[in-house]
């Protein structure tokens, strides 16, 4: 009888763990996380020009009394950047900053990193170039960070979400995209 109870208990624990794994996978697949594959790189090239572009393209968001500062060093890791990119796949928060610099295809986006509570008017923006590859996944290159401070204390991320999408769905500098749209737009410019 003792052997039977041990086998039954082992089976029950295994079944419980299996059910928990299935439920966790179902919860993840139904979440709002962006799960498509991509590669991440880091480069400090062109950080200055991308910060200037961010400054220019924030003005149409009805921000008037703000400052954009380039950040030299940050504790943001590529893993942390990946988590930020995957957060809320359909939220329109990626400000298109125009074509990528250098001899690469693609375009650049600036997007706010998750703000600290109460600091929605003082955000750190990641400056990321999106490139395609013929035989691989899209590549996102972090070129640096910029701090955006709105002295009138507007919710900057909320302002990004209120920008209407382009009528013809052709994205360009000044438009705001979701992560899904950034990904599709990157694949649309695939190098052959």
DSSP assignment of 40-68, as one string? Answer: EEE--TTHHHHHHHHHHHHGGGT--SEEE
Q: Residue 31 pLDDT more than 80?
A: no
What pTM, to 2 d.p., does this model score?
0.78
pLDDT of residue 55: 94
Q: What is the mean pLDDT of residues 122-137?
A: 85
Q: Which residue has the higher pLDDT, 64 or 135?
A: 64
Enumerate the domain spans of the chain: 1-31, 39-188
**49, burial (CB in 10 Å: exposed 0-12, middle 13-18, buried 19+):** middle
Residue 98: pLDDT band by 50, 70, 90 thresholds? very high
What pLDDT was estimated at residue 192?
Answer: 47
Q: What are the backbone angles phi and psi of residue 172, rounded to the nearest 5°?
A: -150, -175
The predicted pLDDT at position 134 comes to: 63
Look at 158 and 27; give whichever has higher pLDDT: 158
């Amino acid at each position: 009888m003792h052997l039977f109870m041990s086998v039954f208990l082992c089976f029950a624990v295994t079944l419980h763990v299996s059910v928990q794994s299935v439920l966790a996978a179902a919860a993840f697949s139904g979440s709002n996380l962006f799960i498509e594959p991509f590669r991440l790189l880091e480069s400090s090239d062109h950080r200055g020009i991308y910060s200037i572009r961010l400054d220019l393209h924030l003005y149409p968001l009805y921000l008037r009394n703000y400052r954009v500062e380039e950040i030299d060093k940050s504790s943001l890791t590529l893993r942390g950047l990946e988590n930020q990119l995957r957060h809320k796949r359909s939220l329109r928060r990626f400000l298109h900053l125009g074509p990528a610099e250098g001899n690469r295809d693609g375009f650049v986006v600036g997007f706010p990193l998750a703000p600290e509570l109460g600091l929605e008017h003082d955000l750190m923006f990641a400056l990321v170039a999106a490139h395609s590859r013929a035989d691989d996944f899209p590549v996102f290159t972090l070129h640096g960070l910029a701090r955006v401070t709105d002295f009138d204390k507007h919710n900057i991320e909320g302002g990004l979400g209120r920008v209407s999408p382009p009528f013809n769905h052709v994205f360009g500098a000044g438009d705001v995209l979701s992560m899904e749209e950034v990904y599709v737009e990157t694949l649309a410019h695939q190098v052959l």
